[in-house]
Amino acid sequence: MFAALLLFASLGAAPCGYKQVGRGGSLPKNIRTIAVQPLTNSTLRYRIEQKFTAAISEEILKRRLPVSLINDPKQADAVIGGDVKSLVTGPALLDNRGLARIYSVTIRAGITLRDQTSNKVLFDNQNIEYRGEYEFSADPRSFFNEEDPAVDRIARDFARSVVTSMLEGF
């Protein structure tokens, strides 16, 4: 009797729309094309939005989703857009002489995924924050500014997380 009741309860819960977290992995069936609009740049950092826009496009392509990326948002089933709101760098670790050797980078952004056919927001997070670090060499002869590669790494990590979050909702 108990086993039958348990079986009935589990069958009854399946069609209610609940699903396990982490089981999403694709976009709604009606979305076959996506336009990734260039993000806006509210920072003072030159071309930072280009790195984040490119990273989102690359992440979608890398995942081999059953969608095509197109340039024209009017022709797309869905549009991804957003804003890089801030970029802050600062010393994170000082050496024994009091010189900064490791710097932290914190980037805050907002991203939206909108279904163009129904004009419905499918994903919206206006307070995404990412942090990373880069290191300065102690030897001035081997000096190489690591800030740009650090921002590139943060952009890739940011894009991976954003695309994963978008897909988890479906």
How high is the pLDDT of residue 136? 64
Residues of the chain falling short of pLDDT 50:
2, 4-9, 11-15, 17-23
How high is the pLDDT of residue 22? 42
Query: What domains, with CATH codes, occur in the chain?
Result: 24-164 (3.40.50.10610)
What is the token pair recorded at 108?
A: 């805050």
Sign (positive or negative) of CA dihedral 39, 40, 42, 45: positive
- Give this prediction's pTM: 0.75
Give 3-state DSSP helix, strand, coil % of the chain, rounded to 5: 30, 35, 35
How high is the pLDDT of residue 126? 95
How high is the pLDDT of residue 17? 47
How high is the pLDDT of residue 132? 79
| SS3 category, 81 | strand
How high is the pLDDT of residue 18? 45
